[in-house]
Structure 1
Amino acid sequence: MAREFPSGVCSIVGAFESPRRKAPGIHPYQIHAEVIAGALADAGLTLADVDGFATTAIFPAEAGWQLSAVEVAEYVGIQPSWVCSTDIGGAAPLSHVGNAVAAIQAGLCEVVVVSYASAGRSWPLHATDFNTGQTGPGQFEVPYGMSTISAYALAAARHMHVYGTRPEQLAQVAVQSRANAHSNPHAMYRDLITVDDVLSSTMISSPLHKLDCCVVTDSGGAIVVTSRERAKDTRRGGPSVLGFGEAISHTQMNQMADLTTTCAEQAGRRAFASAGLKPADIRVAQLYDSFTITVILTLEALGFVPKGEAGAFISDGGISPEGRLPINTDGGGLSSNHSGRRGMYAIIEAVRQLRGESPGVQLASPEFCLVNGTGGWLSAVATLILGRDV
């Protein structure tokens, strides 16, 4: 039995990102409805065409709980024959795309909507940090007040210790993201910043300053996935899903085997293999940037630069629009939009980039775009490789 990902058999034919960044009093399900309508309109399809649905909505600010996918589908008015609610944190939307392609190839559905929405900024009810289970590995961290930021700070401190990565190199990631967001009319923050601005911003958890951390917004997004054959009948078609890979490793940081790398090594390897491509073939990427250290770890884990050399690569302009690998061309999670699961917005920006429609920095006719999502405390990764529809 073949176990290869069905490369190139499906396309993303609709994409829509909510322009909302601050939406007090707006329920996340309303945002779901808005972005699904927007993505279907982009594809020239209607709710009646949809027979597959994927979402994850169990975080407090996403307003769901048990059976969250069922509740969101009910609210929006979708009655799918195939449904997916895989939850691997910020990487979940990428996983949903991979699963949707497999389901379409298997004949379980034909048109899949993948949706996400969250009131990450305005949710009115108290919510603890997401990874606070007090049993299992959590018993070694919860009593000491471990948080998402301090977990990522541990990885940053270790990378700096082992490889000599400097705070200025971390800061340059944030500076470039803000430069990319400068022309994006919907970005949360557009004013240009400097390395000194990042290093002089409030220290949140050493070595991560405030501007090393992603923005916190309300927002949502949706995409439409269908077969290449059905894509011919949509309003404008869209990029092909060429490669996919995912991997999981741990929950709490005390179980992370190596703080200087992530399971993007495995997920990326699978995505490149299924697409028949190598890192050298990719000229633009949308990389999860919950924190500046996330980008450095991901560049190395995916094989774009050797281990320990991402800091120098960034200092030399490697991630700029003129560099070897421009990233996060809309401003990313560090400047444009991060309401909880940034993977959705990274996919949407990849689609826009390949269509020539980025609201931030549009590159000259890229052929491929890699998308990488990271979930949890560097716990789970999914990687997609999209190819321009020709």
Structure 2
Amino acid sequence: MSEPALRHPVADGTGPRRRVAVVGVAHSDCGRVDGATAFALHAQAARRALADSGLPRSVVDGVASAGLGLLAPVEVCEYLGLRPSWTDSTSVGGSTWEVMAAHAADAIAAGHAEAVLLVYGSTARADLKAGRRTAALDLGGRGPQQFEAPYGHTLISKYAMAARRHMHQYGTTLEQLAGVAVQARANAAANPEAMYRTPITVDEVLAGPVVASPFTKLHCCVRSDGGCAVLLAAEDYVPDSAHDPVWILGSGARLSHSLMSEWEDFTVSPAAESGRLAYRRAGVGPADIDLAQLYDAFSYMPLVALEDLGFCAKGEGGPFVDAEEGRLLRGGELPVNTDGGGLSACHPGMRGLFLITEAVRQLRGDYAATAPERQTGRRDRTPGLPRLALVSGTGGWFCSAATLVLGR
């Protein structure tokens, strides 16, 4: 890989910080992909993102990757034939990609990189189907987790406890929680890539088998294969790119807890702080946001995130996500997870990168001409494409959160 030519005198401290844009996004094949390795999905997504950007491969001098073990970025770069001078392998669960995007944007703005590729791939579903062992979260046996593991805590049970606390404290109902899944499925109906597109009702969600009370099967994300890639570049490259840019306007992150006993309030997620920081740095507020892409491994996650990110008051998340109100639908008051989210579209593991791709596609108006039923508009109902999107990832069991504000 040839050394990319610097286009701005920022690296030597003589120029201002550069603006940073998302210039390319893509998915690999997703859903049921039995014939591909995780590395192949990385490569497929990376090639497609570069093609989407219209920029040559030679501009990439940074790569961020996680999920394939200790040497993830090194092995991925070798597989892709890249030798970057900037890299990141942050791993904080589902919010990893929002954290990485913020790190990459800072590096590009400061002149430490020109273009950074964020890339992910996972065969989570195929591995399970084939009986292959995969890396699992260590919920016991070492470190702090040894003090909770004897009580049988699983990842889903931790989320279930938090949901139960919200129900107890604020009167949130099972029907309201089910509304998150129902609206996610309705949004997925227009997405040909979504694993599940058949509409569901609140009653069907409630009637499903219980996985961890109060969650039934449809309260939980799907398990899929898939890869994703996002290319960030300095503003100097925007004139050569294939699409109008989507700018990274602000970001924020927050680490919370590992042990549930160290989480002060089960009804407040770390997104309350990551969102506050992102809004402040972008110079906007919740009322300015046209659409939101929120991590939804379980139905409770978007509900509490909507509260913590300021879209409704604390304790009002239940009525806000009620299926009959339809606020989260593509044509609703605040479109959320417009591709169907992890509950219906795909969830190969750390899904946070998919949140960015869908936000970018909506802001660019990718669906406006070819699939208008998938395209959202402005929250104030004035004509035109959406202007601002919020992306917020959650890691672990509300252990971390990271939020981005993206804008055209």
Q: Does TM-score exceed 0.5, indicating one fold? A: yes
Deviation at 1:229, TM superposition (A): 2.1
The corresponding residue for 1:61 is none
Q: What's the CA shift string for 1:75-118, capped at 9, x where partnerless?
A: 11111010011111111111111011110111111011001111
1:45 deviation in Å?
A: 2.0
Corresponding residue of 2:44: 34
Task: Output the CA distance in 2 between the equivalents of 1:361 and 1:155.
Answer: 32
**Local SS of the residue matching 1:122:** helix
* 1:325 shift after superposition: 1.1
**Contact in 1 for aligned 2:186/2:197 (Cα 8 Å):** yes
Q: Does 1:178 align with 2:191?
A: no
Letter in 2 for 1:372: S
Matching residue of 1:117: 121
Pair 1:69-2:73 in alignment: yes
1:195 maps to which of 202, 213, 218: 202
Contact 1:239 1:354 in 2 (8 A): yes
Aligned residue number for residue 383 of structure 1: 403
Q: Which shows bigger deviation, 233-242 or 276-285? A: 233-242
Gaps of 5+ in 2: 1-15, 378-384
Q: Residues 1-390 of structure 1 correspond to what in structure 2 (within 5 A)? A: 9-57=19-67, 64-123=68-127, 124-127=131-134, 129-315=136-322, 316-358=325-367, 361-364=374-377, 365-388=385-408
Aligned 8 A contact 1:7 1:241 in 2: no
Q: For structure 1, which segment, 132-141 or 39-48, has the greater mean C-alpha deviation from structure 2 after superposition?
A: 132-141
Gaps of 5+ in 1: 1-5, 58-63
Which whole-Å CA distance do the structure 2 matches of 1:210 and 1:246 have between them? 30
CA distance in 2, matches of 1:157, 1:127: 30
Deviation above 4 Å: which 4+ runs of structure 1? none
Deviation at 1:19, TM superposition (A): 3.0
| CA deviation vs aligned residue, 1:328-367 (integer Å, no higher than 9, x gap) | 0010110001100111111000011001125673112111
TM-score (structure 2 length as normaliser): 0.89
Which one is further off, 115-124 or 136-145? Answer: 136-145
Alignment correspondent of 2:5: none
Conserved 8 A contact 1:14-1:43: yes
Alpha-carbon distance between aligned partners in 1 of 2:253 and 2:366, rounded to the nearest angstrom: 28
Residue 314 of structure 1, CA deviation: 1.5
1:363 counterpart SS class: coil
Tell me, what secondary structure is at the counterpart of 2:52?
Answer: helix
> Could you tell me how far 1:319 is from its partner in structure 2?
1.7
User: CA contact under 8 A between 2:338 and 2:374: conserved in structure 1?
Assistant: yes
Q: Which residue of 2 aligns with 1:60?
A: none
Q: Determine the C-alpha separation between the residues in 1 that align with 2:36 and 2:343.
A: 23
Greater Cα offset, 130-139 or 71-80? 130-139
Q: Structure 2: which amino acid aligns with 1:381?
A: A
1:238 maps to a residue whose letter is P
**Which residue identity lines up with residue 363 of structure 1 in the other structure?**
T
Contact 2:177–2:318 under 8 Å retained in 1: yes
SS at match of 2:353: helix
Q: Do 2:243 and 2:364's aligned partners in 1 also have CA atoms closer than 8 Å? A: no
Structure-1 residue corresponding to 2:12: none
Equivalent-residue separation in structure 2 for 1:132 and 1:289 (angstroms):
21
SS class of match (1:349):
helix
Larger Rg: 2
**For structure 1, which segment, 124-133 or 193-202, has the greater mean C-alpha deviation from structure 2 after superposition?**
124-133
Paired residues of 2:173 and 2:318 also in contact (CA < 8 A): yes
- Larger displacement relative to structure 2 (152-161 or 122-131): 122-131
Q: Percent identity?
A: 46
Instruction: Tell me the amino acid that sits aligned with residue 375 of structure 2.
Output: Q
3-state SS in 1 of match to 2:125: coil
User: What is the letter of the counterpart of residue 109 of structure 2?
Assistant: Q
Aligned length: 377
Moved more, 332-341 or 355-364: 355-364
| Equivalent residues of 2:30, 2:225 under 8 A apart | yes
- 8 A Cα contact 1:169 1:314, kept in partner: yes
Instruction: Say if 1:129 and 1:148, in contact at 8 Å, map to a contact too.
Output: no
RMSD value, Cα: 1.6
